[in-house]
Amino acid sequence: LTMMITGVVGNALAMLLVSRSYRAKESRRKRSFLLCIGSLALTDLLGQLLTSPIVISVYLSDRAWDAIDPSGHLCAFFGFSMTVFGLCPLFIASAMAVERTLAIRAPHWYASHMKTQVTKAVLLSIWLAGCAFALLPVTGLGRYALQWPGTWCFISTGDSQLTGSLFFASTFAVLGLFSLLVTVACNLATIEALVSRCRTKATASRSSKEWGRITMETLIQLLGIMCVLSACWSPLLV
């Protein structure tokens, strides 16, 4: 319960701060990045609101999951939510890393092509793709099963003889690991570009200092998100 409250409050505050920054005139250059951060916070918030109350209710009831959910529909919904709100944050983090890499390494292309409409379309595509993938068990490809200690459901990994279940579980892991690798690679490329630029173009102008401050802020945010996502999701992906 404490973790749920902390997560909800933290994400709500993050969305509030992002909303204020997004409306500020001086933040026009990083609105795409702010959209990604806000979407990441919103996605995480929705995931917590849809899954945590179920876990807490089952635990407090002191009853077996099958007794509470004999039809299995609640388990399927929980597994669907875990899959959607597991993949989408990873993909959004990757999109943020790619966005920063383009902004740093290809600023002219970024300024002419990366509009807020493009960012919104990418984010919408991520959510739709996540939902479509999570709905595959409805078509018979894979399934969601109760997980230890009996208070939550996720992708079944015990049906090694069933090709559909193996494919679904393996695809989830591959997609998650791929997004983490993209995030790490893009962040390293961004860091390398920043270090090179600092070495070759040292200037004390106000605009350069402002650019450097904004870049370092977003880079620190990216690294923090990357570390948190890697720590939280790597055990489920490997």
Total count of residues recorded for the chain = 238
Q: How many CB atoms lie within 10 A of CB 1?
A: 11
Domain count within the chain: 1
Q: What is the pLDDT of residue 34?
A: 87
Closest CA to 72 of 156, 176, 160, 195: 156
Q: pLDDT by residue (tens digit) across 133-149?
A: 999 998 888 899 998 88
At 210 the pLDDT is 61
Q: Are 171 and 90 in contact (CB under 8 A)?
A: no
Q: pLDDT value at position 123?
A: 96
pLDDT tens-digit profile, the chain (238 residues): 677 888 889 889 988 988 888 877 555 667 888 899 899 999 999 999 999 999 999 988 888 999 999 999 999 999 999 999 999 999 998 998 898 889 888 888 888 888 889 999 999 999 999 999 999 998 888 899 998 888 899 998 876 556 778 889 999 999 999 998 998 899 888 888 877 776 665 555 555 666 566 667 767 776 777 787 777 767 766 6
**Residue 184: closest CA among 236, 227, 220:** 227
For residue 27, the number of C-alpha atoms closer than 13 Å in the C-beta half-sphere is: 16
Q: Which long-range contacts (CB under 8 A, 24 or more apart) does 60-65 make?
A: 64/150, 65/146, 65/150, 65/151, 65/153
The neighbour count for residue 180, using CB atoms within 10 Å, is 19
> Residue 3's CB: how many other CB atoms inside 10 A?
9
pLDDT in tens, 194-220: 777 766 655 555 556 665 666 677 677
Retrieve residue 209's tokens: 């200092």
> Chain centroid to CA 155: how far?
18
Predicted TM-score (pTM) of the model is 0.85
Domain carrying residue 58: 2-237
Maximum alpha-carbon separation in the chain: 68
> Cβ contacts of residue 145 below 8 Å, gap of 6+?
75, 79, 153, 154, 155, 156, 158
Here the tokens at position 229 are 């996502």
How far is residue 130's CA from residue 86's CA, in Å, rounded to a whole number? 9
Return the CATH number at 103.
1.20.1070.10
